[in-house]
Homo-oligomer: A and B are copies of this chain.
Amino acid sequence: METVNKKILLVEDDPNFGIVLKDYLSMNDFDVVLAKNGMEGFEKFKKDNYDICILDVMMPYKDGFTLAKEIREKNEHVPIVFLTAKTMKEDVLKGYKAGADDYLNKPFDSEVLLMKIKAILQRKASSTLADSRKFEFTIGQFQLNSKLRFLKFKDEEPIKLSPKENELLRLLALHENDLMPRELALTKIWRDDNYFTSRSMDVYIAKLRKYLKVDESVEILNIHGEGFRLVVKTEE
């Protein structure tokens, strides 16, 4: 059987190093697309689907962090690994906040990177693919397009959603009529579960309720201490 190779987006400004790494990964059965800065990286990311992104941090024309943020807005799940010469703690933390999956300090052994990539892809394979690519939802009389971040009611003008509004409503929709645990939203969207992120989430719930009010058959219920439930009353 011929398995399709995994696709890697490699963004690295040092041309020598980039080529060497690309060749090494290609030899190990990956399809590698090389971009030489953040700008180019984002263009290439938009044009194709990648299984994993490997980003250099320090680059001209958009650094790795900025690129990571943009990638995360487009795709919540694609694994991101940072490469960096710096060992600055702040940078590492910044990287994780930007949604990194892993971090590798230069110089590193290419074989180690390879193992990391394999480990990450393996993890991803075992986790649910189901929800990772679903972007369109029907919620009562609404249409949610989570990729383009808008919510449309019947034929009215679509409401633009902010990233957080969008992700939260999407999570609720993925669990329609079922419990969407607080904790899940906090870890997946806010990347931290504490008092403040929790209150922030409540603010967003209020915003969503406001949007959804025009359709009486749709509502967001609270399950005290557990989370929320997006219910769609099916007309009897």
A224 on the B face (CB < 8 A) = yes
Give chain B residues whose Cβ lies under 8 Å from the Cβ of A96. 115-116, 118-119
Q: Indicate whether A27 reaches chain B with its CB closer than 8 angstroms.
A: no
A133 at the interface (CB under 8 A from B): no
Q: Are A193 and B3 in contact (CB under 8 A)?
A: yes
| Chain A positions 1 through 44: 1 when the CB is less than 8 Å from some CB of chain B, otherwise 0 | 11100000000000000000000000001000000000000000
B118 touches A126 (CB 8 A): no
- Find chain B residues with CB under 8 A from A193 CB: 3, 29
Binary B-proximity of A110-149 (CB < 8 A = 1, otherwise 0) = 0110011011011111111001100000000000000111
A59 within 8 A of B: no
Inter-chain CA distance A119–B224, complex, in Å, is 27
Q: A122-B187, A147-B179 are in contact. Are A2 and B225 (CB under 8 A)?
A: yes
Considering the chains assembled together, what is the distance between the CA atoms of A187 and B120 in angstroms?
10
Q: Which of A171-210 contact B (CB under 8 A)?
A: 178-179, 182-184, 187-188, 191-195, 198
Chain B residues, CB < 8 A from A125? 183-184, 187-188
Considering the complex, give the chain B residue whose CB is closest to the CB of A2. Answer: B225
Query: B183, A3: Cβ atoms under 8 Å?
Result: yes
Question: A178 CA to B97 CA in the complex, in Å?
Answer: 38
Interface residues of A in 193-235 (CB under 8 A from B): 193-195, 198, 223-226, 229
A69 on interface, CB distance cutoff 8 Å: no
Report which of B1, B2, B89, B101 forms a contact with A195, defined as CB distance below 8 A: B1
Choose among B3, B188, B223 the residue that contacts A182 (Cβ–Cβ < 8 A): B3
A203 to chain B, nearest CB (A): 15
Residues of A bordering B, CB below 8 Å: 1-3, 29, 77, 89, 92-93, 96-97, 100-102, 109, 111-112, 115-116, 118-119, 121-128, 131-132, 147-149, 162-163, 178-179, 182-184, 187-188, 191-195, 198, 223-226, 229
A-B contacts, 11 listed (Cβ < 8 Å): A1-B225, A89-B112, A92-B115, A93-B115, A96-B118, A100-B119, A101-B119, A122-B188, A123-B123, A126-B131, A148-B178
Q: A3-B193, A29-B193, A118-B192 are in contact. List 6 more A-B contacts (CB 8 A).
A: A2-B225, A92-B112, A92-B115, A124-B127, A148-B178, A148-B229
